[in-house]
Amino acid sequence: MPTNNITQELKVGDRFPLTIKRIGINGEGIGFFKHVIVFVPKAVPEDIIVCELTDVHERFLNGRIHKIRKPSRFRNPDTPELAAEVGGLEFAHINYKDQLHFKSNILRESLEKYKPYAHEKYMIKPTVSSVQQEKYRNKAQFPIQEIDGEIRCGLYKTGTQELVDLTEMPTQMDLTMSAMRKIVQMIKDLKIPVFNPENKSGILSMIVIRESVEFNQLQVTFITRSPKFIKEHQLIERIQKEIPEVSSISQNINKEDKAGVWGDETKLLWGDEYLQEDINGYTFNFSPRAFLQLNSLQTDKLYDLVGQALEPNQRDVLLDAYCGVGTIGITMADKVKQIYGIEIIPEAIEDAKENAKLNDVDNAEYYVGSADVIYPQLLEDGKTVNAVVVDPPRTGLDNKLIAALNRNPVNKLVYVSCNPSTLAKDLVTLTKEYRVIYLQPVDMFPQTPHVETIVKLVRR
């Protein structure tokens, strides 16, 4: 019977037995019902479940676990209750050593989907485990809302805009959670107007806290819906008195109703302009919006592995594309001849220049702009580049940058990816000029399906 005829017979709410066969590229369990693929969140290979349909499409089905008839040997018997409530714990139901195995599988599935040249021969090394599997996140963005007269602060329920009031979070560092709850109590005591999603009233919409592991300090940013921040001085005084670890308090103004979006204007209300963190013996300044890997303890290991893939030497001129505040390039500075850092965000480039000075790095130059434009300009200006590191956002490399890298191939290219799907897609084009030596998955986000991957490529 044709696939579409089978799906036409099914409807949302239908239930049937299902054996989970593998993990999909988004971390969901995959099974097959009458040869139709079924995606089931929180399901694990070897689970035998009763699946309840949540969506019916012509070529695939979405379901949820109605009942587990026989649990997989990969299941974690001590899954935290919050895993059923909020995001960020999508893999908490899987034993940690098995999480590492499945992350390698997710990478392999992505390669099989996009099929870059010779992908079936790629060496995929075992996923590097995280130093800590819990309490590793150094930053959190906590929405805060007034709902039915009560103040809630925490995270959204999975797949909804329903806010879950959190007193704990298994992956979040203790100091961050403790500070958040204290600040929420201060907001209640001072009766500071909090965003009400029903009538769109209130000023304060989010509390952002970043923690420095090395220096045991906190950077707090309040996201408000207007420049006016009622009782900010009283709030700052209480934070100074009751949470001595807070070294910086800022306000970001976001006039949009859409939750979770940073506005363009950030102003320092009190304390240090930057939060400092140590990466492999180098000290970096981070402004509130600057990018820093969320797993500080694992970042040292990640950058060590980037160095191993790059094999830098004193003849290398390194292009650090998507350089952010300069972290990767600066940690390589003493091993190479010259660094050119490119970043589209002007504030990040200013931070990178300051970080270079802070670490006595004098062989780094930074440019504001798109890497696909700046890289060819550097070559036109007579500069020679023979090594490149790219660490793009989840959307992957800009197509124009891939074209520039292929037109002007370098001897060594290291791709640091946070998204296996866009990585696999980008490799389709990159492998026209480069050969993949190996892929090294690194677990930066335990209890989630996310996996960082370092790819070592060389010119063909």
**Looking at the annotation, which residues are catalytic?**
418
* Count, residues in the chain: 460
Distance CA 105, CA 128 (A): 14
Distance in angstroms (rounded) separating the CA atoms of residues 359 and 362: 9
> Which residue do the tokens 């013996």 mark?
281
Q: What separation, in Å, do the N-terminal and C-terminal C-alpha atoms of the chain show? A: 47
* Tokens read off for 36: 């139709």
Contact (CB, 8 A) for 296 and 138: yes
CA distance 166 to 48: 32
| Residue closest to 144 by CA, chosen among 241, 234, 235, 81 | 235
Distance CA 130, CA 388 (A): 26
Q: Are 388 and 410 within 8 A, CB to CB?
A: yes
CA-CA distances (angstroms) from residue 193 to 117, 165, 181, 228, 430? 56, 17, 17, 11, 51
SS3 label, residue 380: helix
The answer to whether residues 142 and 164 touch, using CB atoms and an 8 Å cutoff, is no
Count of other CB atoms within 10 angstroms of residue 5: 8
* Identity at 78, one-letter amino acid code: D
**E strand or H helix at 228:** none
Strands (DSSP E) contained in 87-243 are: 139-147, 150-156, 163-165, 204-212, 217-224
Please list the residues that pair with 435 across neighbouring strands: 458
Q: Which residues contact 97 (CB under 8 A, 6 or more apart)?
A: 129
**Of 351, 332, 344, nearest in space to 284 by CA:** 351
Q: How far is CA 342 from CA 138, 325, 361, in A?
A: 25, 10, 16
Burial group, residue 312, by CB count within 10 angstroms (0-12, 13-18, 19+): buried
Beta bridge partners of 17: 50
